[in-house]
Amino acid sequence: MKAGIYLHVPFCKSRCSYCDFATDVYRSAEAVDRYVDALVREIRNPKSEIRNPKSEIDTVYFGGGTPSLLAPSQLERIVGALHERFAVDAEIEFTLEMNPATVTAEKLRDYRSLGVNRASFGVQTFDDRALKLLARGHDARDARQTFELLRAAGFDNISFDLIAGLPGQTLEDWTRNLDEALRMKPEHLSLYLLEIHEGTPLAEQVRSGRRPAPDDELAAAMYETMLDRTAAAGLPQYEISNFARPGFEARHNSKYWRCEPVFAFGVSAHSFDGRTRRANERDTNRYVYLIERGESPVVEEIELDAEQLSAEFAFLSLRLTEGLNFKDYQTRFGIDLNRQYAQEFERLEEYGLIAIDQGVLRLTQKGMVYSNEVFSVFV
Ligand code: SF4
């Protein structure tokens, strides 16, 4: 089984009001250079916790933060280190997250020549008022222009991120956003319901009553619209939040849902080698400091036992519309899931959250909105 590589780039032009990711405001090319040096050292380190140095890899994903703030020369150094350390598959899926107004035609050409063949494009919404409220630092025109630049540079695999349930957003607003995204014909869509994270400015605004709290019923209606519109546009759902033209399903993210190995580098990066989960230091300065001193950036290491592995496999598989096949599961883990959870499954079926058909367990549409209810059975 080939592994995936995740690299975290923790810099953004400004901080969005809803964000709780490990990210810092971009200060200078020098600060980014120093971080890139550390990242390269972590990849090259022969003593790092990642055990199979010549593992074959078939996906690379640069996430953030805003990886499109990397200069091509910085990206080139990281890509060079990956090629030294891993056997890179010729058909690799190489994704870089990009935000509107952070790239030029020239930069995109350089990215492509370094092997980037998929753009994960952070649109979020085409509504300028909402973009301002979220402190996104770009407007809808920037998003449309950047999308044109991506196509002109030859990107034929583009994913949009959109957020539903923004404060004050109506069902009509959401539908209009979705329709605009679909008219632009991306190959892939990641559609998320807004989550309010403690400690963010948005959480404070909601608490103080300056912004309305999320409305569950409206979110469910938005989700339903999402499923109808994407299916009609030829991008069927394949995962709770993901939709794709057939053949353009995200190969990298699918590794997480299938419990396949992903080696991760950079601040706050999370690795999984098929048995052990490892998390890196979450503070950027401290991460760089540890690497520069030749110390390990890993701050948490959990070896999953057979029970944890099988439970994780169960609820991650359920995120996918293909569902969980009881027979395959029994072959892999020796557990008759249908018997072990008979009572729980009966209850969830009664609530309309799951459906069992010909030995395959799937979330219903309602189950996708309330998926945590179902997943809690396994944890
Ligand atoms: S661009 Fe993304 S990672 Fe950066 S602050 Fe905004 S939400 Fe967070």
Quick one: which atom of ligand 1 is closest to the CA of 136?
6
Q: Confirm whether 273 is domain-assigned.
A: no
**Per-residue model confidence (pLDDT) at position 49:** 66
Quick one: which atom of ligand 1 is closest to the CA of 124?
7
Query: What CATH number has the domain bearing residue 344?
Result: 1.10.10.920
Q: Confirm whether 263 is domain-assigned.
A: no
Greater model confidence, 55 or 294: 294
Q: Residue 265 corresponds to which tokens in the numbers above? A: 């580098």
354 shares a domain with 246 = no
Ligand 1 pocket test: pick from 14, 15, 17, 200 the residue with the most ligand atoms within 8 Å of its Cβ. Answer: 15
| pLDDT tens-digit readout, 187-234 | 999 999 998 899 899 889 888 988 888 888 999 999 999 999 999 999
208 shares a domain with 102 = yes
> Does pLDDT of 331 surpass 90?
yes
Pocket of ligand 1 contains residue 9 by CB under 6 Å: no
Pocket of ligand 1 contains residue 23 by CB under 6 Å: yes
312-340: average pLDDT = 93
Q: Which of 223, 257, 291 is the last residue of a domain?
A: 257
Q: Whose CA is nearest to atom 3 of ligand 1?
A: 65
Q: For the chain, what is the domain count?
A: 2
Share of the chain above pLDDT 70, in %: 99
Query: Exposed/middle/buried for 120, CB within 10 Å: 0-12, 13-18, 19+?
Result: buried
Report the predicted TM-score, pTM, of the whole model to 2 decimal places: 0.95
130 shares a domain with 27 = yes
CA of 234 to the centre of ligand 1 (A): 29
What distance in Å separates the CA atoms of residue 171 and residue 353, rounded to the nearest whole number?
Answer: 23
Quick one: which atom of ligand 1 is closest to the CA of 134?
6
Element (H, E) at 362: strand 360-363
Pocket of ligand 1 contains residue 12 by CB under 6 Å: yes
Give me the DSSP letters along 198-229. TTSHHHHHHHTTSSPPP-HHHHHHHHHHHHHH
Query: Exposed/middle/buried for 25, CB within 10 Å: 0-12, 13-18, 19+?
Result: exposed
Q: Band of the pLDDT at 24, cuts 50, 70, 90?
A: confident
CA of 125 to the centre of ligand 1 (A): 14
Quick one: which atom of ligand 1 is closest to the CA of 18?
7
CA of 32 to the centre of ligand 1 (A): 16
| pLDDT tens-digit readout, 121-154 | 999 999 999 999 999 989 999 999 999 999 999 9
49-56: average pLDDT = 71
**Per-residue model confidence (pLDDT) at position 214:** 81
173 shares a domain with 107 = yes
Range of the domain at 351: 306-375
CA of 287 to the centre of ligand 1 (A): 19
Q: Confirm whether 69 is domain-assigned.
A: yes
Quick one: which atom of ligand 1 is closest to the CA of 20?
8
**Per-residue model confidence (pLDDT) at position 333:** 92
> Does pLDDT of 329 surpass 80?
yes
> Does pLDDT of 87 surpass 80?
yes
Q: Whose CA is nearest to atom 2 of ligand 1?
A: 65
64-71: average pLDDT = 95
323 shares a domain with 180 = no
Which of 220, 231, 267 is closest to 39 using CA atoms? 267
Ligand 1 pocket test: pick from 25, 66, 195 the residue with the most ligand atoms within 8 Å of its Cβ. Answer: 66
| pLDDT tens-digit readout, 241-252 | 999 999 999 999
Strands, E, within 202-297: which ranges? Answer: 237-239, 242-244, 262-265, 270-272, 276-280
**Per-residue model confidence (pLDDT) at position 51:** 62
Q: How far is CA 370 from CA 76, 115, 354, in A?
A: 42, 38, 10
> Does pLDDT of 50 surpass 80?
no
Residue whose entry in the numeric block shows the structure tokens 């957003």: 169
Q: Confirm whether 267 is domain-assigned.
A: no
Average pLDDT, the chain: 93
Pocket of ligand 1 contains residue 15 by CB under 6 Å: yes
**Per-residue model confidence (pLDDT) at position 369:** 87
CA of 14 to the centre of ligand 1 (A): 8
CA of 67 to the centre of ligand 1 (A): 10
Q: Confirm whether 227 is domain-assigned.
A: yes
> Does pLDDT of 268 surpass 70?
yes
136 shares a domain with 247 = yes
Q: Band of the pLDDT at 29, cuts 50, 70, 90?
A: confident
**Per-residue model confidence (pLDDT) at position 99:** 96
178 shares a domain with 35 = yes
CA of 322 to the centre of ligand 1 (A): 31
Pocket of ligand 1 contains residue 192 by CB under 6 Å: no
